[in-house]
């Protein structure tokens, strides 16, 4: 039993399990479909945030252009749904029935060739991941092989985000322009606008996100994860130990892109449209804020970050729409300056020692021997319970890793 507990704690599975209970049991029980759908939307940003944990927290590479990949994944899915929604029957009032409405408005008379493959759902699923990863590979290979990094790389990703937005808005006939792709209705005949569909899509998103977290955790615990940390610390030492450092960064960038793209596709499905406003510079920076607030070293923390910041955004942008941007900026600066490891770091440095002290003190009537995280979890699910290990500031990582080697 104790062995299982230490194993759970060490691999960060305990905190992932708590998140799973929260997402799969607590939220669905406590919320109506509308709110659940809202959380589902926020969770799609969770994909981007955990991608940033891998890329920025572990790999030390800051990208300010994750909206690009979120958008590409979302648009790929939207193209499929749009084609399905544009059957000749429901578009018979158009001058060219059977093509998406925005094409008709822009005087297109037939479906562009590159849209054709998106009639297939199989191809669409492939494209959701493949197109963003290919773009990520080209950008990162070109940059990292030339040793472009740090601020310069971040600026390049911003430029890509800007270019893509301009392209999407400019090519109205092919992309739906500034309005995006709207009026998405069914997925292979299944109406995605119903309450049942929204609930099901929520569970699908949550399950995929938990799967993605497990995958990332496995990568973190592999030698590749160790190398990413080592590179962040002493890049030259890794290079002169026979590793092609640039390829590891390329991998991290492509991984983050793939995760963002899956998030984007799930966003489209749940929200029912995709538009350039999720692609550009501002949304990309917001995505970094999710990871920073949650803690860039903690996968689970990043998900809580995405949830909290988005809740805050929804609340404040309704109540004080003008103030929200400033608040967001202040939050970001505050967190980065005062808590570089975000909420997860705060939990590690404050909550955990406090829990440990409480545990040490004699607890009359307590069951005793229960791990602090497990006992605290059901009581206060909104407090970010981050992992025992994944959440750690740098010093803790070494300690964790060393205990593994024993």
Partner 1 sequence: MSNTDFVLAVEDLTVSFDGFKAIDSLNLYVDRGELRVVIGPNGAGKTTLLDLICGKTKASAGSIKFKNQEMTRLPEHMIVRAGIGRKFQTPSIYENLSVFKNLEVSYPRGRGVFGALGFKCDDAVKAKVDEVAGMIGLADRLDLEAGLLSHGQKQWLEIGMLLMQDPELLMLDEPIAGMSARERELTADLLNRICQNRSVIVIEHDMDFVARIAHKVTVMHQGKILAEGSMDKVQSDPKVIDVYLGH
Residues in contact with partner 1 by CB under 8 A are 219, 222-224, 226-227, 229-230, 233-234, 236-245, 247-248, 250-251, 394-395, 397-399, 401-403, 405-406
Angle at 237 between CA 235 and CA 241, to 5 degrees: 120
Residue 181: DSSP 8-state: B
- Structure tokens, 237: 């030492």
30-38 — which CB contacts under 8 Å span 24+ positions?
33/195, 33/198, 33/199, 36/198, 36/199, 36/202, 37/198, 37/201, 37/202, 37/270, 38/314
Q: Are residues 294 and 343 in contact, defined by beta-carbon separation less than 8 angstroms?
A: yes
Strand partners, 376: none
Min separation Cβ 282 and partner 1, Å: 32
Query: Phi-psi bin for 97: left (phi > 0), alpha (psi -120 to 50), beta?
Result: beta
Min separation Cβ 241 and partner 1, Å: 5
Min separation Cβ 89 and partner 1, Å: 48
Residue 99: DSSP 8-state: S
Min separation Cβ 54 and partner 1, Å: 13
> Which of residues 78 and 297 has its CB atom nearest to partner 1 in the complex?
297
> Which of residues 188 and 406 has its CB atom nearest to partner 1 in the complex?
406
Neighbours of 404 (CB within 10 A): 12
Min separation Cβ 240 and partner 1, Å: 5
* CA distance linking residue 36 with residue 41, whole number of Å: 9
> Which of residues 200 and 399 has its CB atom nearest to partner 1 in the complex?
399
Min separation Cβ 295 and partner 1, Å: 16
> Which of residues 382 and 403 has its CB atom nearest to partner 1 in the complex?
403
> Which of residues 116 and 233 has its CB atom nearest to partner 1 in the complex?
233
> Which of residues 245 and 271 has its CB atom nearest to partner 1 in the complex?
245
């Amino acid at each position: 039993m104790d062995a299982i507990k230490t194993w759970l704690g060490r691999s960060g599975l305990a905190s992932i399990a708590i998140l799973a209970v929260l997402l799969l049991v607590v939220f669905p029980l406590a919320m109506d479909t509308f709110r659940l759908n809202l959380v589902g939307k926020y969770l799609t940003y969770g994909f981007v945030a955990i991608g940033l944990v891998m890329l920025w927290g572990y790999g030390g590479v800051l990208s300010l252009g994750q909206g690009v990949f979120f958008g590409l994944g979302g648009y790929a899915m939207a193209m499929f749904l749009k084609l399905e929604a544009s059957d000749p029957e429901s578009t018979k009032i158009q001058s060219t029935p059977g093509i998406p409405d925005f094409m008709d408005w822009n005087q297109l008379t037939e479906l562009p060739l590159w849209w054709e493959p998106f009639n297939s759902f199989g191809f669409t699923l492939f494209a959701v991941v493949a197109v963003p990863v290919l773009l990520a590979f080209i950008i990162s290979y070109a940059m990292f092989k030339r040793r472009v990094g740090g601020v310069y790389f971040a600026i390049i990703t911003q430029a890509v985000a800007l270019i893509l937005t301009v392209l999407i808005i400019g090519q109205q006939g092919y992309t739906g322009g500034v309005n995006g792709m709207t009026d998405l209705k069914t997925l292979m005949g299944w109406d995605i606008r119903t309450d049942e569909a929204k609930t099901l899509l929520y569970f699908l998103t949550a399950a995929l996100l938990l799967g993605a977290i497990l995958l990332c955790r496995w990568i973190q615990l592999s030698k590749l994860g160790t190398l990413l940390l080592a590179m962040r610390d002493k890049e030259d030492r890794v290079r002169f130990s026979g590793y092609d450092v640039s390829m590891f960064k390329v991998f991290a960038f492509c991984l983050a892109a793939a995760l963002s793209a899956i998030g984007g596709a799930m966003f489209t499905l749940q929200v029912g449209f995709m538009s350039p406003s999720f692609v550009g510079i501002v949304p990309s920076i917001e995505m970094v804020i999710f990871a920073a607030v949650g803690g860039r070293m903690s996968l689970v923390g990043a998900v809580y970050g995405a949830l909290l910041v988005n809740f805050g955004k929804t609340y404040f942008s309704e109540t004080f729409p003008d103030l929200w941007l400033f608040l967001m900026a202040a939050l970001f600066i505050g967190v980065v300056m005062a808590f570089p490891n975000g909420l997860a770091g705060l939990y590690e440095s404050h909550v955990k020692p406090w829990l440990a002290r409480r545990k040490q003190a004699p607890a009359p009537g307590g069951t005793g021997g229960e791990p602090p995280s497990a006992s605290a979890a059901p009581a206060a699910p909104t407090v970010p319970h981050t992992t025992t290990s994944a959440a750690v500031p740098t010093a803790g990582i070494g300690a964790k890793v060393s205990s593994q080697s024993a």
